[in-house]
Amino acid sequence: MADRLRMVEAVRETLRAELERDDSVVVYGEDVGRAGGVFRATEGLLDAYPDRVFDSPVAEAGIVGVGVGLAATGLRPVAEIQFQSFLYQGFHQLAQHVARIRSRTRGTVTCPMTIRTPYGGGIHALELHSESFEAGFAHVPGLTVVVPASPAETAGLLTASVRSPDPVVFLEPTRLYRSFREEVPADHELPLGEARIVDSGEDLTVVAWGSMLRETLEATAELDADIEVIDPRTISPLDTETIVESVRKTGRCVVVHEAPRTSGMAGEIIARITEDAFYYLETPVERITGYDVPVPLFAREDAYLPDADRIEAGIRRVLDRN
């Protein structure tokens, strides 16, 4: 690698590298083989590794469930679910088995499976192609939930996910797949469970991930304030410390996500800040989120998604309060 890649290319090159490095890696999912994936994230892999790349039947419970068996035989399953909402079809396999086979067996059977799936809105896709349910996945103990926000981050975090001894739900913001290029180092592995301080600042902390990070950076660029921007990267287990330390320093915080507001991850983050940084808060934490409505079809989608304007307005409100 070490090339300037788009996010979707970073996915592909990471999978290629992991297939090459480790014979036990198998890649499968709907249309990942001959077509190379509906976003071309697996293009060329079947040709290069014909014995370890497979097109799957259209059956997400199956895709998730067979992973438990593949892993038991010593393989390292890397499955693609074509869109995040269709992981719901396999949610029971995820929650009842993948997430807990380690604890059920006191560590004697494990499931080092990675489930990659395009996630989030902003590409004017069909109904149910734009959801973000990271909070629901994060509520299942045993899962690691990752959302990358750039090509290099994708490579680093996906490498770590494939190598992780635990199951990872790897949520790829479709909106960022082709939106920009970035230098991606070869054999890049980033730690899971560690947030990234994207921008340092003293006045206010913003926590944002996925494509909301980009909107946030657009918003903060407009602002004449010293803002710390944190990308948790791993949604669960969440790196509380980095967030809490930042809020202790800034005393002000805004959390952004595109998932519906109620019961979203912002609630969890606000609770942790309340627990560990309450006395440092100069003003309440705000959250800028999707609304509590199903993501509308694309003609109304832009109205649903938080954008740089809404984030900027939110930051201003929190800065202006005292």
Partner 1 sequence: MPREDIAQFTIRSVQVLAEDGTVDEDLAPSLSDDELLDCYEAMKRARRLDERAISLQRRGELGTYAPAIGQEAAQVGSAFAMDEDDWIVPSFREQSALMVRETPPQQILEYAMGMEEGAEIPVDEHALPPAIPVGTQPLHAAGVGWGEAIQESPNVALTYFGDGATSEGDVYEALNFAGVYDAQTVFLCQNNRYAISTRLEDQTAAETLAQKAIAAGIDGVRVDGNDVLGVYRVVSEAIERARDGDPTLVEALTYRRSMHTTSDDPSVYREAAEEDEWEARDPIVRFQVYLENRGLLDEETKATIDERVESEIADAIDRVNAARDELDPADMFRHVYAEQPPELERQAAAFERKGDRDG
C-alpha closest to that of 76 among 84, 68, 87: 68
Among 44, 61, 181, 223, binds partner 1 (CB under 8 A): 61
Distance between CA atoms of residues 191 and 282, nearest Å: 32
By C-beta, is 2 or 59 nearer to partner 1? 59
Query: Which of 9, 13, 18, 30 touches ligand TPP (CB under 6 A)?
Result: 30
- Cβ atoms within 10 A of the Cβ of 78, count? 30
Exposed, middle or buried by CB within 10 Å (0-12, 13-18, 19+), for 58?
exposed
Would you call the peptide bond into 237 cis, given omega within 30 degrees of 0 as the criterion?
yes
Indicate whether 109 belongs to the interface with partner 1 (CB under 8 A).
Answer: yes
Contact partner at residue 144 from partner 1, a copy of itself, ligand TPP, none, CB < 5 to 8 Å by partner kind: partner 1
Using the rule CB under 6 A, is 240 a contact of ligand TPP? no
Residues 179, 185, 191, 193: what is their CA dihedral angle, to the nearest 10 degrees? -10
User: What is residue 11's three-state secondary structure?
Assistant: helix
Query: Whose Cβ is closer to a copy of itself: residue 191's or residue 284's?
Result: 284
Q: Are 285 and 251 in contact (CB under 8 A)?
A: no
With contact defined as beta carbons under 8 Å apart, do 164 and 144 qualify?
Answer: yes
Pairing verdict, β 227-231 and 168-173: unpaired
- Rule CB under 8 A: which of 71-100 touch partner 1? 71-75, 77, 85-86, 89, 92-93, 96-97
Instruction: Give the nearest residue (CB) to ligand TPP.
Output: 86
> Which of 62, 179, 267, 280 forms a contact with partner 1 (CB under 8 A)?
62
Instruction: Indicate which single residue of 47, 50, 180, 317 sits in contact with partner 1 (rule: CB under 8 A).
Output: 317
Question: Do residues 149 and 214 lie in contact, with contact meaning Cβ atoms separated by under 8 Å?
Answer: yes
Give the three-class secondary structure for 231. Answer: strand
170 in contact with partner 1 (CB under 8 A): no
Taking the complex as a whole, how short is the minimal distance between the CB of residue 35 and a copy of itself, in angstroms?
A: 24
Which helix (H) or strand (E) segment holds residue 308: the answer is helix 308-320
Q: How far is the CB of 77 from partner 1 (least distance, A)?
A: 8
| 92 among known catalytic residues | no
Query: Which listed option, partner 1, a copy of itself, ligand TPP, none, makes contact with residue 284 (CB within 5 to 8 Å by class)?
Result: a copy of itself
Nearer to ligand TPP, 76 or 116 (CB): 116
User: Tokens at residue 297, please?
Assistant: 């079809």
Using CB distances below 5 to 8 A depending on partner kind, what does residue 25 bind out of ligand TPP, partner 1, a copy of itself, none? none
Q: In the complex with partner 1, which residue's Cβ is closer, 1 or 83? A: 83
Catalytic residue among 129, 139, 188, 257: 129
Residue among 228, 245, 213 nearest 318 (CA): 228
**Catalytic site positions:** 129
The residues of the shown chain that bind ligand TPP, judged by CB under 6 A, are 30, 58, 60, 82, 86, 89
